[in-house]
Structure 1
Amino acid sequence: MHVLILGGTTEARRLAELLAAGTGLRVTTSLAGRVAAPRLPPGEVRVGGFGGAEGLAAWLREHEVDALIDATHPFAGTISFNAAKAAATAHVALLALRRPGWVPVAGDDWHEVHSLGDAAELLPTLGRRVFLTTGRMGLAAFAALEDLWFLVRAVDAPEGPHPPRMEVLLDRGPFTLAGERALLSRHGIDVVVTKDSGGTATAPKLTAAREAGLPVVVVRRPPVPDGVPVVAGSEQAVGWLAEQGAFPDAGRNLT
């Protein structure tokens, strides 16, 4: 059985590791290629786009894929909808693997928005020194905010339009609470912007912001396409594959 994982996340890499542990499956992980030096999972790896839903459907047929698992970043909305269309066209079983989103707790000052554009519109009312942790894509949404200063943290250097007053910090999580506290203090940050990526790797910034009494603009994630089953962890994805008849009973011990 051939399983295609649309990857690029910790959960996708963990799933590939689980499936490489003697399941007898052929596992291919597809990476978008937006990160210069990605952490490669075990198994076969392909890098680059498919050419939309039609291209993905053709790839599924050509490579005789039996199950497709969309384990992309929660904000990679386009590929998720392309995956749903392609799976339906090629008659391939599809699962979405999504880590749970963050939930505010007592003491948080969250301002939830639906897009980066909404975040940019709200920012001038909240602060002047912004810790922008939404990645290198989408900085154009903040390019007109000339009166605000931005600390932009990303894995790779950003390109294209960006805020005129900006410092870039190239770094990759996981991050520590002590480190996030020091960063907010050192740069005089008074407002934080983040996508609701979920997980623990970048969550310490939320705790540090809460402790400092800082407002946090949270961009909510797009929905999973209608009708696509969703699990929250890699082990659950293995269980779903077992339900699809992916491997002998011995493989079920992976979960």
Structure 2
Amino acid sequence: MSGAERHILVLGGTTEARRLAAHLAADPALRVTSSLAGRVAAPRLPAGEVRIGGFGGPEGLAHWLREQHVAALIDATHPFAGTISYNAARAAAATGVPLLALRRPGWTAQPGDDWHDVASLADAARTLPALGERVFLTTGRMGLGAFAHLEDKWFLVRSVDAPEPPVPPRTEVLLDRGPFTLEGERELLARYAVDVLVTKDSGATATAPKLAAAREAGIPVVMVRRPPAPEGIPVCRDPAGAVEWVRRVLA
């Protein structure tokens, strides 16, 4: 790294994080490192430098920020990756490194939607028995144990990588990665005779067509709310806003 370069750490793994890294890496005055959790076997790698794996809690992240002379930190992780967001807030406070949260907006119910808002996967499992028998479960491969006791329900689980036990006994796994189309989601719901959808409020446009398909089919949706985020951290909604923030804090 030359003396003129400023080091930016992006906590990534999302589409927005990859777009942000591409914008920042195009600036020769910046050195960009994206950190990925390593939960996906073959992740889509962003531009710039990449590190994979955890830091060892907030203390480990703070040590890395100091050791690597990081000038700005951007938390662009998934809205449900709550632990790393709190670790980032604590590490930034300990080191004085400016921190920004890049968070895509959540989904909003539309006319005709039948959404059932819940706070957790466990709450989603408790809500399911009254809603349907054939469940399209799109909450990712982590946390499926919350549904493992529902032996009388059939589950279609869609994830990038195969889930590990425990999973519900009547489960079919569909390995796929977005973006998905409305036509494709319509066909999937019909092919598997899905009568209830369970998802997290990730807000991603790449996976939103399932909500429109469920609305058209009159299928109820169990929507898991986002966990609370650290307070006092500035938030932007898109990569362009994050780029502007970097310009300001490094000026």
Pick the TM interval, shorter chain.
over 0.9
Residue of structure 1 aligned with 2:160, choices 155, 161, 171: 155
- 215-224 or 172-181, larger mean C-alpha shift: 215-224
Distance (Å, rounded) in 1 between the aligned partners of 2:62 and 2:165: 31
Counterpart in 2 of 1:183? 188
Q: What's the Cα RMSD here?
A: 0.7
Counterpart code for 1:129:
R
Counterpart in 1 of 2:3? none
Counterpart in 1 of 2:88? 83
Residue of structure 1 aligned with 2:109, choices 80, 101, 104: 104
Q: Does 1:43 align with 2:45?
A: no
Structure 1 position 217, deviation (Å) = 0.3
Structure 1 position 127, deviation (Å) = 0.3
Q: Does 1:131 align with 2:124?
A: no
Structure 1 position 223, deviation (Å) = 2.2
Counterpart in 2 of 1:218? 223
User: Retained in 2: the 8 A contact 1:127–1:190?
Assistant: yes
Counterpart in 1 of 2:37? 32
Q: How does 1:4-19 map to 2 (within 5 A)?
A: 4-19=9-24
Distance (Å, rounded) in 1 between the aligned partners of 2:176 and 2:62: 35
Structure 1 position 160, deviation (Å) = 2.3
Q: 1:201 is paired with a residue of what secondary structure? A: helix
TM-score where L is the length of structure 1: 0.95
Structure 1 position 205, deviation (Å) = 0.2
User: Retained in 2: the 8 A contact 1:102–1:196?
Assistant: yes
Count of matched residue positions in the alignment of Structure 1 and Structure 2: 246
Structure 1 position 199, deviation (Å) = 2.2
Structure 1 position 23, deviation (Å) = 4.3
Counterpart in 2 of 1:66? 71
Distance (Å, rounded) in 1 between the aligned partners of 2:248 and 2:20: 16
Distance (Å, rounded) in 2 between the aligned partners of 1:71 and 1:23: 22
Counterpart code for 1:16:
A
Structure 1 gaps of 5+ residues are: 247-255
Q: 2:111 is paired with a residue of what secondary structure? A: coil
Distance (Å, rounded) in 2 between the aligned partners of 1:144 and 1:63: 46
User: Retained in 2: the 8 A contact 1:104–1:110?
Assistant: yes
Q: Does 1:165 align with 2:166?
A: no
Show structure 1 runs of 4+ deviating over 6 A: none
Counterpart code for 1:90:
T
Q: Does 1:240 align with 2:248?
A: no
Counterpart code for 2:153:
L
Q: 2:109 is paired with a residue of what secondary structure? A: coil
Residue of structure 2 aligned with 1:95, choices 90, 95, 100: 100
- 166-175 or 19-28, larger mean C-alpha shift: 19-28
Percent of residue pairs bearing the same amino acid type: 73
Structure 1 position 22, deviation (Å) = 2.5
Structure 1 position 242, deviation (Å) = 1.1
User: Retained in 2: the 8 A contact 1:96–1:224?
Assistant: no
* 1:41-77 Cα shifts (integer Å, max 9, x gaps): 1111000000111111111111111100000000000
Q: 1:227 is paired with a residue of what secondary structure? A: coil
Distance (Å, rounded) in 2 between the aligned partners of 1:37 and 1:77: 22
